[in-house]
Structure 1
Amino acid sequence: MINLKIAAQKLNGIIIKPGETFSYWKLIGKPSKRKGYVHGMVLHYGRFMSGVGGGLCQLSNIIYWMTLHTGLTVTERHRHSFDVFPDSGRTQPFGSGATCSFNYLDLQIKNNTNQSFQLILHLTNDHLVGEWRSDSPPLYTYQVYQKEHDMTMAYWGSYIRHNTIYRKKYNQLDQLIDDEYITENHAIMMYEPLLESSL
């Protein structure tokens, strides 16, 4: 929570004008104890570790997910190499997040529209909340979904998860005008794919 609050304050209210590019790490800078960051959970090669600034991927995840529902263009995004959480309670497609690591795994977003966009972020006691605002009503709405989802066993015994992410684009009359390919995901699963819920 501490790390997310510090980073969110750096990004909250940022405006991306037409032609400009948003860089996650350029705006946040290096997380350090001097800046108030504390140790948090870091995912490193499929294992959980402690590191200063841990947990900031939650922030890049929500920004990426929101951006897929706008006319903004993601120019740099990195997928998670390991799938560590089963699907119980999942509300978004697998692989719809963006991992980050200072300063070589960045999230960059370019504004190729003729509108300005403002990023709004804040934390409640239980949630990280965000939105993109623009200076004119959006012309399109988007539905992000997955295709070609499968889980296959690798030769070394672990399972590999794969899918592709697409989004449907609708005009103001709710007519489908495009079905766009977004990205492809591959990840090593860190749990058994057919685990039953304990609930």
Structure 2
Amino acid sequence: IHWMILHTPLKITEHHHHDALDLFPDYKRTIPFGTGTSICYNYLDYRFFNPTENTYQLLTWVTEQYLCGELRAEKRQEYTYHIKAEDEYFSLEDDGVYRNGAIYRTIIDPSSGNAVEKELIRQNHALVAYDTSKLVLVDRRIKCVDETAK
């Protein structure tokens, strides 16, 4: 749901991220680390509102393997939205290995292809909770040497 909302002009008013820990290594990750959210009973943990004149419909469903979603709009959105991770690295600190990076949302004018705005939406600093033996220190940062450990 959060991933879909990030690609719209809808405004997030409450968001709780499970970012204190990096619980498992990336394996075929399709969205950047740090773009998830925690949603709990009572629907208080994730809220957003629509400041636009456009009407949106949020659809969700599950398959045997995936949680799926679709966000529909009555009219075409004025802008497109791109979410990107930058400056991702692992760092060795006194209490363990941390995953670091920044998540940016760039708002694009589709008629010109120009960026209208670039905003930092999340700064990650998460303690890694899995085996880090496949990581190696390079220039005071830890780099992955194996795709399954990335």
Do these two structures clear the TM 0.5 threshold for a shared fold by scoring above it?
Answer: yes
**Alignment partners' CA distance in 1, 2:41 and 2:132:** 31
Aligned with residue 163 of structure 1, among 73, 76, 101: 101
Asked if the contact 1:78–1:105 (Cα under 8 Å) also holds between the matched residues in 2, the reply is: no
Structure 1 residue ranges (4+ consecutive) displaced by more than 6 angstroms after TM superposition = none
**Alignment partners' CA distance in 2, 1:104 and 1:155:** 37
Q: TM-score, normalised by structure 1?
A: 0.61
Letter in 1 for 2:50: N
Going by fraction, where is helix more abundant, 1 or 2? 1
3-state SS of the aligned residue for 1:92?
A: coil
Larger RCO: 1 or 2 (CA < 8 Å, sep 6+): 2
Q: Give 1:145 deviation, angstroms.
A: 0.5
CA RMSD of aligned residues (A): 2.1
Aligned with residue 84 of structure 1, among 13, 23, 26: 23
**Structure 2 match to 1:132:** 71
Q: Percent identity?
A: 35
Q: Give 1:186 deviation, angstroms.
A: 2.1
- Give per-residue Cα distances to partners, 1:137-195, cap 9 Å, x unaligned: 11111110012322112212x21112221011111213322212212222111123453
Asked if the contact 1:169–1:176 (Cα under 8 Å) also holds between the matched residues in 2, the reply is: yes
Asked if the contact 1:99–1:105 (Cα under 8 Å) also holds between the matched residues in 2, the reply is: no
The 5 A counterparts of 1:17-96 are: 63-80=1-18, 81-96=20-35
3-state SS of the aligned residue for 2:38?
A: coil
For structure 2, the 5+ residue unaligned runs are 135-145
Q: Give 1:103 deviation, angstroms.
A: 5.4
Aligned with residue 189 of structure 1, among 112, 128, 135: 128
**Structure 2 match to 1:177:** 116
Residues 152 and 117 (structure 1), Cα distance of their counterparts in 2 relative to 1, 3 Å cut: same
- Give per-residue Cα distances to partners, 1:15-56, cap 9 Å, x unaligned: xxxxxxxxxxxxxxxxxxxxxxxxxxxxxxxxxxxxxxxxxx
Going by fraction, where is strand more abundant, 1 or 2? 2
Residues 139 and 75 (structure 1), Cα distance of their counterparts in 2 relative to 1, 3 Å cut: same
Q: Give 1:72 deviation, angstroms.
A: 0.6
